[in-house]
Amino acid sequence: EGTPAAPAASPKKKLSYLESREYESIGQRIPALEEELNRKRLAMQEAAQNAASRGPHLQEMYHDIEVSQEEINSLYERWIELEDKTR
């Protein structure tokens, strides 16, 4: 009687050497990529204010921003996946 026994703690899984290195590098790469993405966004805002740079140039800039954002999102997803393996 009394309180139920605590469930046995599951042993922590370990990342492989390569996964561990990847996990560490992702944590370092994300801030740099986010800073670069912010610079791209600011450059696009400035270019949008200049009537001569509208059109194809802005489309290229927007596409470049989308690609950068997708890369960051992908890194976050992988980082979470690796982190979950350690729980």
The phi and psi torsions of 4 (rounded to 5 degrees) equal: -70, 150
Measured CA to CA, the distance from residue 79 to residue 86 in angstroms comes to 11
**Which band of pLDDT confidence, cut at 50, 70 and 90, is reported for residue 6?**
very low
| pLDDT tens by residue, 48-65 | 887 665 788 888 999 999
The confidence score (pLDDT) of residue 86 equals: 84
Cβ-proximal residues to 69 (8 Å cutoff; 6+ apart), any chain: 37
CB atoms within 10 A of CB 71: 15
Confidence (pTM)? 0.72
**pLDDT at 26 > cutoff 90:** yes
